[in-house]
């Protein structure tokens, strides 16, 4: 039995990735990791209902010791971790002049340090076996400026470059590291940004006042759209792809 470990698996993109991997992988057990124990049980139940072997592991990815312990537990209970998806993330918005230091620290603790902790713990096992694949879920904001999102964009840019640099280090062991950069995706994280002026419609249509392009395909991404890209990059079909960043945003950044 092989294992795929997905962080942020309680909801949104992480949950969609866990389900997609479970359905696509023959003989793959899913280790669903999140700090939200109650929501995590829902993901595991959905995997069970789909006939996928899965277990939930409650973990705050900012805690290095807990991350290492969870990875060891997954290896012991479910088998060697051959795929890692760093999908855990948080969003805090606001203009830089008014942005709090605590919010900055929270973004980098989860979006960057969490990716570092989990990738380091997993890759130590992968290198010994000389195989494995890692995908980090970043954001198209990492390469395109957005008003009110400077801190979030910076954290995702850091996570993306960390993942690519890690990929360069571990390529000699046959381990691939790639990035998926979603655009606006229909998740609770996106809807938390909506106000009287910022809605699903305005997200699709764009806003000239904030220099934000709309989405050429005319719709929000669904979590499953992102999950399909992640599954591809983890698969044998992407066996010669590493250090790559795949943007999945309906054309919102014009193919940057």
Q: Which of 13, 152, 178, 229 is catalytic?
A: 152
Is 152 known to be catalytic? Answer: yes
Residue 196: phi, psi to the nearest 5? -60, -30
**C-alpha angle 94/223/37, rounded to 5°?**
80
Closest C-alpha to 184, from 158, 149, 135, 235: 149
Query: Read out DSSP for 162-214?
Result: HHHHHHHHHGGGTEEEEEEEE-SBSSHHHHTT--SSS-HHHHHH-BGGGTB--
Whole-number CA gyration radius for the chain: 17
Residue of 120, 86, 65 lying closest to 7 (CA atoms): 86
The Cα 80–Cα 150 span in angstroms is 38
Phi, psi of 216 (to 5 degrees): -55, -35
Report the catalytic residues: 152
């Amino acid at each position: 039995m092989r294992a795929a470990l997905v962080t942020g698996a309680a909801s949104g993109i992480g949950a969609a990735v866990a389900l997609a991997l479970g359905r696509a992988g023959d003989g793959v057990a899913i280790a669903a990791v999140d700090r939200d124990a109650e929501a995590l049980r829902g993901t595991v139940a959905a995997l069970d209902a789909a006939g996928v072997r899965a277990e939930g592991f409650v973990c705050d990815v900012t805690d290095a010791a807990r991350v290492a312990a969870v990875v060891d537990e997954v290896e012991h209970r479910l088998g060697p971790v051959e795929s890692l998806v760093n999908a855990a993330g948080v969003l805090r918005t606001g203009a830089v002049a008014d942005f709090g230091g605590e919010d900055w620290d929270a973004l980098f603790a989860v979006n960057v340090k969490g990716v570092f902790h989990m990738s380091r713990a997993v890759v130590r096992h992968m290198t010994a076996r000389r195989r494995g694949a890692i995908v980090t879920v970043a954001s198209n904001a990492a390469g395109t400026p957005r008003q009110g999102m400077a801190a979030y964009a910076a954290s995702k840019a850091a996570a993306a470059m960390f993942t690519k640099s890690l990929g360069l280090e571990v390529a000699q062991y046959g381990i691939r590291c790639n990035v998926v950069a979603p655009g606006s995706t229909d998740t609770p994280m996106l809807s938390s940004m909506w106000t009287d002026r910022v809605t699903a419609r305005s997200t699709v249509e764009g806003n000239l006042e904030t220099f934000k392009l709309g989405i050429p395909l005319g719709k929000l991404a669904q979590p499953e759209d992102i999950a399909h890209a992640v599954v591809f990059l983890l698969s044998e079909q992407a066996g010669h792809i590493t250090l790559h960043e795949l943007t999945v945003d309906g054309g919102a950044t014009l193919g940057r």
